[in-house]
Amino acid sequence: MTPRQVVEAHGVRLRPFRAEDTADVLDGCADPLTQRFVSGVPTPYTEIDARCWIDAGAPAAWTGGGAAYAIADPATDRLLGAVGLNCPVPARGQAEIGYWLRPAARGRGVAAAATRALSEHAFATGTARLELLTEPENGPSQRVALAAGFRYEGVRRSAGANRDAGRHDLLAWVRLADDPPGPAARLLPDLPGGVLTDQVVALRRLVPGDAELMFRLHSLPEVVANQAPPVPPEWAAFERRCRLAESLWLTGDLARLLITDVVSGEPVGSCGLSYTDVASGEGSIGYALLPHWRGRGYATRAVRLLAGWAFATAGMARLTAGTVPENSASHRVLERVGFQREALQRGRLPGLAGTRVDDLTFALLPTDLVQPAAPR
């Protein structure tokens, strides 16, 4: 590729940086989100840094075998952000792709369009494999990767450098030259309109603000007793759980949801769904309710909603739920939804002080799912 070549595709223009882009580069790179998720950007970011990037940084990217494009609005040619290639490995035909946007350009599909445009241009000029690395908490960037056709490949341990000289993991998303066009398929799609509801309960994805509630729920003695091992949680673990909820959903690892009461909007509890065997289409489901809402059919409604979505939208063919043998209340919930007792697996789960706990497994097929009774 040559830095003089302009690429126009998918509603964006990729062109060389110019001196008149200085103010817009400053606007994008001094922004708190860019500062948070692009650790290589100087902090604080000044006009001098912006000029240095345009005059020296971008040309150096080309000299090093990569690329550094300004993303511009085709109608006005004003800079919206940047997209580029770095860390080329010629022997593998591989490079990394990255981007940032000015705040005013976000939420409009610009990053995905620019990533698609540069990816296609790179493949057309000999690249075979592109990697896109994201911070685990950067859900919007992961959505860009998926929209641009990149598939989740795994965790790159300690691949990211912190500003304080520490290290952290990054998530790797990959697109190959012969991958089909269009967005990458997902194991766990988004909920329709962001919510599942039967007009009595509603389910939505966990968000960082749910951490305190989730910690309180899963610290209840009766909830702890039904976990394996039955150990009270730590605050840091649940705070991180909620911060990473979107990422785990996007990677297809786990869908964690909050259960709420439709009328009052109050939280009722939580539930979760994950694939246990993708090849066979098997998933697993779990749930917990706050004391005030138990015994009122809310768990049954939530499990039925989640199971219906798992079969109809996520494409699962079979669901399981593991319980401790003494948890008769949970057994009744599962049976009302249509789950059938399938196996007692002795000593399957870890207990306290080196002991083992039995696991009573229930299973549900699409034809087993019990629909709610029609109102009279």
Task: For the chain, 376 residues long, give each residue's pLDDT as a single digit of tens.
Answer: 665 689 999 999 999 999 999 999 999 999 999 999 998 899 999 999 999 999 999 999 999 999 999 999 999 999 999 999 999 999 999 999 999 999 999 999 999 999 999 999 999 999 999 999 999 999 999 999 999 999 999 999 999 988 887 899 999 999 999 999 999 999 999 999 999 999 999 999 999 999 999 999 999 999 999 888 899 999 999 999 999 999 999 999 999 999 999 999 999 999 999 999 999 999 999 999 999 999 999 999 999 999 999 999 999 999 999 999 999 999 999 999 999 999 999 999 999 989 999 999 999 999 999 988 765 4
pLDDT at 66: 95
pLDDT at 86: 95
Q: How would you classify residue 145: left for phi > 0, otherwise alpha for psi between -120 and 50, otherwise beta?
A: alpha
Residues of the chain with CATH 3.40.630.30: 7-176, 192-368
pLDDT at 3: 57
Q: Which residues sit opposite 284 in a β-bridge? A: 274, 320
pLDDT at 309: 97
Q: Report residue 312 as tokens.
A: 């109809």
Question: Look-up: residue for tokens 């389910």?
Answer: 203
* Run of H or E including 203: strand 201-205
pLDDT at 163: 83
pLDDT at 1: 60
**Burial (0-12, 13-18, 19+ Cβ within 10 Å), 189:** middle
Query: Which of 309, 273, 272, 270 has the alpha carbon at shortest distance from 293?
Result: 270
Q: Report residue 40 as tokens.
A: 């290589």
Distance between CA atoms of residues 61 and 68, nearest Å: 6
CATH number (3.40.718.10, 2.30.110.10, 3.30.930.10, 3.40.630.30) of 7-176 reads 3.40.630.30
pLDDT at 22: 98
* Run of H or E including 97: strand 94-101
Half-sphere exposure of 167 (CA within 13 A, CB side): 5
Helix axis angle, 298-312 to 328-337, nearest 10°: 50
pLDDT at 227: 86
CATH class of residue range 192-368: alpha beta
pLDDT at 283: 97
Distance between CA atoms of residues 174 and 150, nearest Å: 5
pLDDT at 341: 97
